[in-house]
Each structure stands twice: as structure tokens, then as C-alpha cells.
Amino acid sequence: MEHYRRLGVAEEIRTLGLPDDYPPDVSYHTRYASHEIARLHWPSRRDALANRHAGDRRWPTPEPLHRGQEMFIEPVLKQHAESLPGVDIRFGWKVESISQDSTCARLFARDPASGELCEFEADYAVGCDGPRSLVREALGIRYEGTGSEDRDFLGGRMQATYVRAPAFYDVVPGGVAWQYWAMNPQRFGIMIAVDGKGEFVLHTQLPKGAQSSLEYGHESIALTTGGDFPYEIIGVAEWTAGFTLVAKNYGAGRIFIAGDAAHLFTPTSGQGYNTSVDDAANLGWKLAAACLGWGGPNLLATYEAERKPIGHRNTNFARSIADFFGRISMPQALEDSGPAGDACRAEFGQRLQELAWKEFDAPGIHFGMYYKDSSIVCTEPGEGPVDDPHHYVPHARPGARAPHLWISEG
């Protein structure tokens, strides 16, 4: 959101997603219609904005955390890019090959409408083309790390079931949330509110060898909810969890990679997109400097030197969270009625509460990046701050994010 603020689109993006007064809480349940066992409270957009001038000591930023689906955000970014002079967007075109020599990067792309294949030459090229990146492959760069972790949950093939279900809000006791976790011996699931009005995506693990299907979607909704309510499945899709991968290099010569082309996460803690936007912000000004002629010969190399360690840092953080949920042992009495069940849920809920805090309240991950070993950063004597995902200490050492401080008008 800070990067979007600089581009001038933060305000518009902040209007997208959940309604103004919708609390983006994370709640944990045995089944959605039964017991709520833990809840991480988080301020709504309205409250977060109203309080931002008071100065949040844990998240000191003019742009408080915002939750919005990419499908809402991408059109705003596209429209913004199209409004910039000198930017030529070829939406839907497909790059078929890319190469380079000492004078330029060269790529061939096809117009899906006419079938025409065009050649483009550029001083530099950046592949932001996702996990199956053609650009990364053309450069011969491999991912390093862990490629396919096997877990009971969040490790292997997953199904996303997209549902229209305003009545879901009526079956869940305990109030609205943004992420609803269901944890019972029959099925784990995460139901995520898309628009705060009745559209949700339910993520569940597929059994080994199974393919996504409507039937599995219906079964998952029944087992995670434990109660009847009217709903309609809009669609199902598969994705894979269990990646902790970072590209060995973030580019070669005149061609670079960024975003999922350079790293792949299990989406616990929501780091993939954030890390991707940060890559683009880091590379963007360096490419501009190179094109305008003031960057010097070594500036572009600092993109990999600065961002690759962050790729490892952030993917490992996400992995540590997924490990907890994927390997958790469920207490026997979790769904029992009576005092024994109540005590079991209270004890388990306490563990989940701590974990929710670990997963979602991580300002150090977002603000604590510190490029102290970069060749364009001068070293300062003395120890730097400890890199702690859960605590961000504002500091003004070279290579760190400049601390935020409101100054008075004028």
C-alpha cells in the first residue's frame, strides 16, 4: 500500500474488497456452525484510517494493512499503467520467446486476436510471468529450495471452491470475519470473504491423486460447516501448496525476473504478492536510472543482491507457519460437548490464538527489510536492529525503509 501511495493509486485500491466497516478478523472453528475457538481481531478499513494519525506503534505507516482480492486490484493497476505517457499495453498478448545479445533484449509476442507475431527490441526486459515463467526458463535459471512439501493441510494439491453464500453469515455464530478456519478430524478448510456481501472462497486439501470437482466442493462445505445453508458454487480450481522456492538468480544480462517468476510461497501469512510488489518497486527505479543514464554500471546487480535474501527470508517465514497447521495434532475431545470438550477447546484455542498473531501480525516482515550488505549501501558502525518478523523497530540506517513520521501541515 505504501508503494501504491507513491504511484497515486492507494486511495482507489483501499476502496476495493471488503466494506468500510467490515472487520477483517481471522476466526477459528471446529465447524463453522458449531464452536468458535479463537479469533484475531483486526480493525475495519474505516477504523484503521480513522486511527492512522494517532500513530500505531506496531504498524507505523500512513497506509494501514488492507485486504483486497487481486481480481479487484489488477484492473486499477492496468488502468493506471494505461494512463502513463510512453506506456504501451498489449493486454492478452503472449510472449513466445525471449533472447538477448550485447545490444538488446529481443522478444516475440503474439496478438491473440489476429494471430500476428511481432518482434520487440528493448534495452531491458523483465519477466513478471508467474511460476511457470517462460523468461526464467529461457535464462536457464532454476528455483532453489523445497518444491513439494507433503502435509495433511497446506502441502500438496488444494481445491479452491468459489461460492455465493450470503446465508453463510447466518450460520456462523460469533460475528463476521475475513478468514474463517475450520479444524476438525474430517476436514480442514479456510473460508475467505471476497466482497463481504456473500462471496467466499473455501480452500481445502485434495486427497492424494484426486482432482478438483464440484462434488468435493459440496462435501467440503458440508464437513467444514456442519450445518445447512443455501449456497451456489460459482467455480472450482486447483492450486498447489508446499512451495518454498527462490530463483537462483534474479536475472542475467539485460533480462530480469520478478514476482512469482522469482519466488514461490505457500500463501500462509499472505507474503507472495507483497514480496512481488516490493521486487517491482526495487527494480523499477534502478531500471529507470539505467535508462536515463545515471545508474552506473553496477546498480542493476543490486536488485538480486537486495531482493534474493528477502525472497528466502519471506518464503521461510511463510513455510514456518504452514508447518504448524500442516502437522498439527487434533486433540481427541475437540468436538465433545460438556466440560471436557469446553476445556479442550479453550486450551487448543489458546494455541491457535498465538499462532494467528504469529501469522498475521508481522510488521517486521513488511517494514523491517534492511539491505545492509548491498553494494550501494554504506555501512554504519554498530549493530543494526534484529530482524524480527513480529516487531519492527523504525531506524534510519542506510538500506532500511525510511521511518514514517507525520509532520504538521506546512
Q: Is 204 in the site for ligand FAD (CB under 6 A)?
A: no
Answer for which of 155, 156, 251, 267 binds ligand FAD (CB under 6 A) is 267
Q: Is 295 in the site for ligand FAD (CB under 6 A)?
A: no
Q: How far is the CB of 340 from ligand FAD (least distance, A)?
A: 36
Q: Is 128 in the site for ligand FAD (CB under 6 A)?
A: yes
Closest to ligand FAD by CB, 25 or 260: 260
Tell me whether strands 26-29 and 36-40 are parallel, antiparallel or unpaired.
antiparallel
Closest to ligand FAD by CB, 132 or 208: 132
Residue with cell 519466488: 263
Q: Which residues contact 36 (CB under 8 A, 6 or more apart)?
A: 27, 28, 29, 172, 173, 174
C-alpha cell at 217: 466442493
Closest to ligand FAD by CB, 270 or 295: 270
373 vs 246, 247, 284, 380, CA distance in Å?
19, 19, 20, 11
Q: List phi, psi (to 5°) of 216.
A: -65, -35
Q: How far is the CB of 234 from ligand FAD (least distance, A)?
A: 16
- Give the whole-angstrom CA distance, residue 98 versus residue 119: 10
Question: Do 259 and 130 meet the contact criterion of CB atoms below 8 Å apart?
Answer: yes
Tell me the window of 22-30, 47-55, 263-271, 379-387 that interacts with ligand FAD (CB under 6 A). Answer: 263-271
Q: Is 259 in the site for ligand FAD (CB under 6 A)?
A: yes
* Size of the residue set binding ligand FAD (CB under 6 A): 18
Tell me the window of 37-45, 80-88, 145-153, 269-277 that interacts with ligand FAD (CB under 6 A). Answer: 269-277
Closest to ligand FAD by CB, 41 or 94: 94
Closest to ligand FAD by CB, 70 or 409: 70
Question: Do 6 and 184 meet the contact criterion of CB atoms below 8 Å apart?
Answer: no
Q: Is 108 in the site for ligand FAD (CB under 6 A)?
A: no
C-alpha cell at 377: 549501501
Answer for which of 60, 198, 270, 331 binds ligand FAD (CB under 6 A) is 270
Answer for which of 273, 330, 384, 393 binds ligand FAD (CB under 6 A) is 273
Residue with cell 538488446: 104
Closest to ligand FAD by CB, 128 or 289: 128
Q: Which of residues 38-97 bind ligand FAD (CB under 6 A)?
A: 70, 94-95
The dihedral sign for the CA sequence 285, 287, 290, 296: positive
Q: Which of residues 339-378 bind ligand FAD (CB under 6 A)?
A: none
Q: Is 161 in the site for ligand FAD (CB under 6 A)?
A: no
C-alpha cell at 396: 534510519
Determine the residue with CB nearest ligand FAD.
259
Closest to ligand FAD by CB, 348 or 360: 360
Answer for which of 20, 112, 214, 239 binds ligand FAD (CB under 6 A) is 239
Q: How far is the CB of 55 from ligand FAD (least distance, A)?
A: 25
The beta strand positions in 24-134, using DSSP E, are: 26-29, 36-40, 94-100, 105-110, 117-122, 125-127
Q: Which residues make beta-bridge pairs with 121?
A: 106
- Give the whole-angstrom CA distance, residue 96 versus residue 221: 40
Report the Cα 62 to chain-centroid distance in Å.
Answer: 20
3-state secondary structure of 219: helix
- Nearest-5° Cα angle at 1, 244 to 83: 110
Tell me the window of 226-234, 264-272, 304-312, 397-405 that interacts with ligand FAD (CB under 6 A). Answer: 264-272
Residue from 374, 368, 378, 373 nearest 398 by CA: 378
Q: Which residues make beta-bridge pairs with 108?
A: 97, 119
- Give the whole-angstrom CA distance, residue 52 versus residue 323: 34
Q: Which residues make beta-bridge pairs with 54?
A: none
Answer for which of 220, 276, 302, 314 binds ligand FAD (CB under 6 A) is 276
Answer for which of 274, 320, 353, 374 binds ligand FAD (CB under 6 A) is 274
Q: How far is the CB of 267 from ligand FAD (least distance, A)?
A: 3
Q: How far is the CB of 185 from ligand FAD (least distance, A)?
A: 24
* Angle, helix 339-360 to helix 301-326, in steps of 10 degrees: 180
C-alpha cell at 165: 453464500
Tell me the window of 6-14, 76-84, 259-267, 356-364 that interacts with ligand FAD (CB under 6 A). Answer: 259-267
Q: How far is the CB of 270 from ligand FAD (least distance, A)?
A: 3
Q: Is 284 in the site for ligand FAD (CB under 6 A)?
A: no
Residues at the site binding ligand FAD, with contacts judged by CB under 6 A? 70, 94-95, 128-130, 134, 239, 259-261, 267, 270-274, 276
